[in-house]
Amino acid sequence: MGIAHLNVANFIVAGMAASLSAIMHAPLTGIFLIAEITGRYILMVPLMITSAIAYLINRGKNKYSIYTRPLAESGDLMSHEDKDSTVLQMMKLKHLIEKDYLSLHEDELIAEKMTDILQSKRNIFPVLGNDGGFKGLVYVEDVLKRKMDDKEHTVNDLMQAAPAAIFEDSSMKVVLQKMEKDNVWLLPVLDQEGRYLGFISKTAVFNKYRALLSRQADYLA
């Protein structure tokens, strides 16, 4: 407006610091990086003011910075900003597989396995094919409906298809999403060739989640 002469370069320097502070969510980096590049340490106070304002405005609108947003969208972000994703990312499916289930083969007679079934503490049994591949499930309720002296029915006669299955390299986030989608508490875990490895249960996941969350509370606070 012609009232006073202003140094345009100083405004450019302040704008550079403000931009870096906002997009990176790192005001100190923006301040000292621009001051070092331009050598204008005399503008430290204006840089601090503009960087702080820009950071607060952008941080209030965008939860993640330009660097953390891709990680957050892919579910791989491990930070204080998202404790749930951080803890789930730390959990590995292979350590939570329960393998103490009685396996049945599709051609076996129910009568021959009746003693083992009744002595088992589980109410569900995986059915395997002759090649070791996972075929389906047998529930103890269906077994008890048959006469114990019935020697004609095979495991295949009582077998039901599994509601879903999980592969051993699946993330815990995918496991929980599939459990919620199919409304199940237990899922069989298979390797890449379709061979049965064990079961994963919500109980095991939640117990591990609570343990890790308690352990990480001091570090993420």
pLDDT tens, position by position, 62-107? 887 887 777 666 655 555 445 556 666 667 888 888 888 898 988 8
User: What's the CA gap between 112 and 182, in Å, rounded?
Assistant: 33
pLDDT tens for each residue of 98-107: 888 898 988 8
Domains of the chain: 8-62 (no CATH), 93-216 (3.10.580.10)
Q: Are 17 and 31 in contact (CB under 8 A)?
A: yes
Q: Are 88 and 136 in contact (CB under 8 A)?
A: no
**pTM: predicted TM-score of the whole model, two decimal places:** 0.54
Structure token digits, residue 211: 């343990």
Structure token digits, residue 104: 């049945």
User: What's the CA gap between 132 and 129, in Å, rounded?
Assistant: 5
pLDDT tens for each residue of 111-154: 888 888 888 888 889 999 877 789 899 888 888 776 554 557 78
pLDDT tens for each residue of 152-199: 778 888 888 888 888 888 887 788 888 888 888 888 999 888 888 989
